[in-house]
A and B are shown apart, each in its own frame.
Chain A
Amino acid sequence: MNSVWARLTHEQCQQLHSASLEILERTGARLFNDEALALVCKAGAKVVEGNHVRFPARLVEQALSTAPKSITLFDRNGRPVMPLEGNNSFFGPGSDCLNIVDHRTGERRRPVLQDVAEAILVCDALNEISFVMSMFLPSDVRQELADRYQMEVMLHNTTKPIVLVTYETSGCVDAVEMAEAVAGGADALRERPFITCYINVTTGLLHNADALEKLLFLAEKGLPALYIPVVSGGTTGPITMAGGLALSNAGVLVGLVISQLKREGTPVIVPGFGGDALDMRTMVDPYCDPDPRGMAQSLAHFYQLPMFSLGGASESKLVDQQAGIQAALDMLIPAASGGHIIHDCGYLESGLSGSLAQLAICNEVAGWIRHACRPVEISAETLALDLIDQVGPDGQFLKLPHTRRHLRERWYPTLMDRDTYDGWLAKGGKPLGERAGEQVSQILATHHCEPLSRTSAEAIRRVVLRAEAQSGSESPAPVSGGSYA
Chain B
Amino acid sequence: MHEEQFNAMRQSIVDGAPESARESANKALALGIDPLDAINKGFVLGLNSIGEQFNRGEVFLPDLVMAGEAMKAAVAVLEPEMQKRGTQREILGKVVLGTVKGDIHEIGKSLVSTLLTASGFQVFDLGVNVPIELFAEKARELQADLVGVSALLTTTMQGQKSVVEALDRHGLRPKVKIIVGGAPVTRDWADKIGADGYGQDAMAAVAVAKSLLHK
A residues at B contact (CB < 8 Å): 96, 98, 137, 143-144, 167, 202, 234-236, 278, 280-283, 352
CA distance A176 to B61 in the complex (A): 42
**Knowing A137-B154, A143-B154, A281-B57 touch, does A98 contact B108 (C-beta < 8 A)?**
no
CA distance A283 to B107 in the complex (A): 11
Residues of A contacting B60 in the complex (Cβ-Cβ under 8 angstroms) = 280-281
Residues of B contacting A280 in the complex (Cβ-Cβ under 8 angstroms) = 60-62
Query: Is B201's beta carbon under 8 Å from chain A?
Result: yes
* CB-CB contacts below 8 Å: B36-82 with A: 54, 57, 60-62
Residues of B contacting A278 in the complex (Cβ-Cβ under 8 angstroms) = 61
Residues of B contacting A96 in the complex (Cβ-Cβ under 8 angstroms) = 154
Q: How large is the interface on B (under 10, 10 to 19, 20 to 34, 35 or more residues)?
A: 10 to 19
Query: Is B184's beta carbon under 8 Å from chain A?
Result: yes
Distance from A203 Cβ to chain B, minimum over Cβ atoms (Å): 11
CA distance A354 to B111 in the complex (A): 29
CA distance A283 to B60 in the complex (A): 10
CA distance A278 to B201 in the complex (A): 13
Specify which of B154, B184, B201 is in contact with A283 (CB 8 Å cutoff). Answer: B201
**Identity of the chain B residue whose Cβ is nearest the Cβ of A109 in the assembled complex:** B188
**Knowing A98-B184, A235-B107, A236-B107 touch, does A283 contact B158 (C-beta < 8 A)?**
no
Q: Closest 7 interchain pairs by CB?
A: A280-B60, A280-B61, A235-B107, A283-B201, A281-B57, A98-B184, A281-B60
Query: Is B83's beta carbon under 8 Å from chain A?
Result: no
**Knowing A98-B154, A167-B155, A235-B107 touch, does A283 contact B202 (C-beta < 8 A)?**
yes
Residues of B contacting A282 in the complex (Cβ-Cβ under 8 angstroms) = 201
Whether A143 contacts B158 by the Cβ 8 Å rule is: yes
B residues at A contact (CB < 8 Å): 54, 57, 60-62, 104, 107-108, 111, 154-155, 158, 183-184, 201-202
Distance from B80 Cβ to chain A, minimum over Cβ atoms (Å): 34
CA distance A137 to B62 in the complex (A): 32
Residues of B contacting A234 in the complex (Cβ-Cβ under 8 angstroms) = 61-62
Whether B61 contacts A143 by the Cβ 8 Å rule is: no
Residues of B contacting A143 in the complex (Cβ-Cβ under 8 angstroms) = 154-155, 158
A96, A236, A281, most chain B CB atoms within 10 A: A281
CA distance A74 to B61 in the complex (A): 45
CB pairs A–B below 8 angstroms (16 shown): A137-B154, A144-B155, A167-B155, A234-B61, A235-B107, A236-B107, A278-B61, A280-B61, A281-B54, A281-B57, A281-B60, A281-B61, A282-B201, A283-B61, A283-B202, A352-B184
Please count the residue pairs between chain A and chain B whose beta carbons lie under 8 angstroms apart in the complex: 30
Distance from A107 Cβ to chain B, minimum over Cβ atoms (Å): 13
CA distance A263 to B203 in the complex (A): 49
Distance from B109 Cβ to chain A, minimum over Cβ atoms (Å): 12
CA distance A234 to B107 in the complex (A): 11
**Identity of the chain A residue whose Cβ is nearest the Cβ of B59 in the assembled complex:** A281
Residues of B contacting A236 in the complex (Cβ-Cβ under 8 angstroms) = 107
CA distance A104 to B60 in the complex (A): 38
Besides A143-B154, A281-B61, 17 more A-B contacts (Cβ < 8 Å) are A96-B154, A98-B154, A137-B154, A143-B155, A143-B158, A144-B155, A235-B107, A278-B61, A280-B60, A280-B61, A281-B57, A281-B60, A282-B201, A283-B108, A283-B111, A283-B201, A352-B184
**Identity of the chain B residue whose Cβ is nearest the Cβ of A239 in the assembled complex:** B62
CA distance A144 to B61 in the complex (A): 34
**Identity of the chain A residue whose Cβ is nearest the Cβ of B202 in the assembled complex:** A283
CA distance A39 to B57 in the complex (A): 49
**Identity of the chain B residue whose Cβ is nearest the Cβ of A96 in the assembled complex:** B154
**Identity of the chain B residue whose Cβ is nearest the Cβ of A235 in the assembled complex:** B107
CA distance A138 to B54 in the complex (A): 36
CA distance A236 to B61 in the complex (A): 14
Distance from B200 Cβ to chain A, minimum over Cβ atoms (Å): 9
**Identity of the chain A residue whose Cβ is nearest the Cβ of B158 in the assembled complex:** A143
Residues of A contacting B108 in the complex (Cβ-Cβ under 8 angstroms) = 283
CA distance A280 to B66 in the complex (A): 13
Distance from B207 Cβ to chain A, minimum over Cβ atoms (Å): 15
**Identity of the chain B residue whose Cβ is nearest the Cβ of A99 in the assembled complex:** B186
**Identity of the chain A residue whose Cβ is nearest the Cβ of B111 in the assembled complex:** A283
**Identity of the chain A residue whose Cβ is nearest the Cβ of B55 in the assembled complex:** A281
Distance from B63 Cβ to chain A, minimum over Cβ atoms (Å): 8
CA distance A280 to B63 in the complex (A): 9
Distance from A206 Cβ to chain B, minimum over Cβ atoms (Å): 9
Residues of B contacting A281 in the complex (Cβ-Cβ under 8 angstroms) = 54, 57, 60-61
CA distance A143 to B111 in the complex (A): 28
Distance from B174 Cβ to chain A, minimum over Cβ atoms (Å): 28
Distance from B173 Cβ to chain A, minimum over Cβ atoms (Å): 25
CA distance A380 to B13 in the complex (A): 73
**Identity of the chain A residue whose Cβ is nearest the Cβ of B60 in the assembled complex:** A280
CA distance A137 to B153 in the complex (A): 12
Distance from A150 Cβ to chain B, minimum over Cβ atoms (Å): 13
**Identity of the chain A residue whose Cβ is nearest the Cβ of B188 in the assembled complex:** A110
Residues of B contacting A98 in the complex (Cβ-Cβ under 8 angstroms) = 154, 184
Residues of B contacting A167 in the complex (Cβ-Cβ under 8 angstroms) = 155
CA distance A282 to B111 in the complex (A): 13
Distance from A229 Cβ to chain B, minimum over Cβ atoms (Å): 15
CA distance A295 to B213 in the complex (A): 48
